[in-house]
Homo-oligomer: A and B are copies of this chain.
Amino acid sequence: MTTRNRQIRLAARPTGFPQDSDFELVESQLRAPGEGELLVQAHYLSVDPYMRGRMNDAASYAEPVGIGDVMIGESVGKVLLSNNEKFPEGTYVAGMFGWQEYAISDGKGIRRIDPELAPITKYLHLLGMPGWTAYFGLFDACGLKEGDEVLVSGAAGAVGSIVGQLAKIKGCRVAGIAGSDEKIAYLKDQLGYDAAFNYKTTDNLGQSIREVCPNGVDVYFDNVGGPITDAVMWALNIGARVGICGQISQYNLEKGELGPRPFWHLIVKRATVRGFLVFDYFSRFREATADLAKWYQSGQLKCEERITNGLEHAPLAFVEMMQGANTGKQLVRIHSDA
């Protein structure tokens, strides 16, 4: 067995979009798993917008990654050695193993995944955090009701592409906003979105929103914030519910951006805006996974994957994802079974 473990560590706190020099690729020594521990070989790493916040040294909902620490992140992989009977050798697991080839785990906070039920990458989106985020954000934070007119920003991303499909499953009309014509076609042709537009090629966001939501917006699932969300405020219906999942347009700004104040709209429309974090629903992940797996197996829920090869390209994959290169879920392939 190898004793070398390649890791990507945070080398500096990024300003704006992260650069190569903000990370370092380190080859560290791998120890054997101790009592109750297991050794995981990571096959796929998930890169997600929330990681940008962890690179900052600022108060947020979680501690920042320290300089010199392995970047945090979830991956799926195979148990190579195990002293933990819950996770025998040869089984597959998902967990916060970080940006590295191998990880030692005591088994806490990780979960066993079933490669017979779905390819293991699915546990990083449809049957994992993006899926749970879409599920609880839409059903709980936004209080989705049958017949709602739903609008999703960042609609072709890992979370957004699931949100739209869930809303369709629940009998709603769904419109999406995304950043390329390819994504718009994907939303409409592959995911069943009723309407969608490319925010990069419209010169009037408000008008484009009215065109894709001619009956106004009852539920707005927001992944992006910024000018898109400003424009959506005008299109809310009375009693609208806005779920704030992410604000990706804001994460790489060097200085907080000013925008039109949104709260007056909330009075006029008796609307509710709710920020949520998927971790708060931890005790209900099993329930969500059961539903998501059912819809995945019936073909009602799908998601493209954009896979970048090689751990060393994880920083690039992360930045490209933040810039919207991915349609569907951005992943990094570290090892494969082949």
B-contacting residues of A (Cβ < 8 Å)? Answer: 59-61, 222, 225-226, 229, 244-247, 250, 256-277, 280
A261: contacting residue among B61, B225, B246, CB under 8 A: B225
Cβ of A275: which chain B residues have Cβ within 8 Å of it? Answer: 263-272
A272: contacting residue among B245, B247, B273, CB under 8 A: B273
CA distance A246 to B267 in the complex (A): 8
Q: Which of A60, A259, A267, A276 gathers most chain B CB within 10 Å?
A: A267
A226 B261 Cβ-Cβ under 8 A: yes
Cβ of A265: which chain B residues have Cβ within 8 Å of it? Answer: 275
B258 A225 Cβ-Cβ under 8 A: no
Given the known inter-chain contacts A270-B276, A270-B277, A272-B274, please indicate yes or no for A264 contacting B61, CB distance below 8 A: no
CA distance A114 to B247 in the complex (A): 53
The 4 nearest A-B residue pairs measured at CB: A266-B275, A267-B275, A258-B258, A272-B274
CA distance A266 to B266 in the complex (A): 15
Q: Given contact pairs A222-B263, A247-B263, A270-B274, enumerate 15 new A-B contacts (beta carbons under 8 Å).
A: A225-B264, A229-B263, A244-B263, A244-B264, A244-B266, A247-B264, A257-B261, A258-B259, A258-B260, A259-B261, A263-B275, A266-B275, A270-B275, A272-B272, A272-B275
CA distance A274 to B226 in the complex (A): 20
CA distance A264 to B266 in the complex (A): 17
CA distance A226 to B262 in the complex (A): 10
A250 B268 Cβ-Cβ under 8 A: no
A262: contacting residue among B262, B268, B274, CB under 8 A: B262
Cβ of A61: which chain B residues have Cβ within 8 Å of it? Answer: 267-268
CA distance A266 to B272 in the complex (A): 12
Given the known inter-chain contacts A60-B268, A61-B268, please indicate yes or no for A261 contacting B247, CB distance below 8 A: yes
Residue of chain B at shortest CB distance from A263:
B244
CA distance A233 to B269 in the complex (A): 21
B261 A256 Cβ-Cβ under 8 A: yes
Measured CB to CB, the closest approach of chain B to A220, in angstroms, equals 11
A276 B267 Cβ-Cβ under 8 A: yes
Measured CB to CB, the closest approach of chain B to A204, in angstroms, equals 18
Residue of chain B at shortest CB distance from A276:
B270
Cβ of A60: which chain B residues have Cβ within 8 Å of it? Answer: 268
A261 B268 Cβ-Cβ under 8 A: no
CA distance A257 to B273 in the complex (A): 20
Measured CB to CB, the closest approach of chain B to A239, in angstroms, equals 9
Measured CB to CB, the closest approach of chain B to A64, in angstroms, equals 13
CA distance A222 to B259 in the complex (A): 19
Cβ of A247: which chain B residues have Cβ within 8 Å of it? Answer: 261, 263-264, 267
CA distance A247 to B229 in the complex (A): 20
Cβ of A270: which chain B residues have Cβ within 8 Å of it? Answer: 274-277, 280
CA distance A332 to B303 in the complex (A): 64
CA distance A266 to B61 in the complex (A): 11
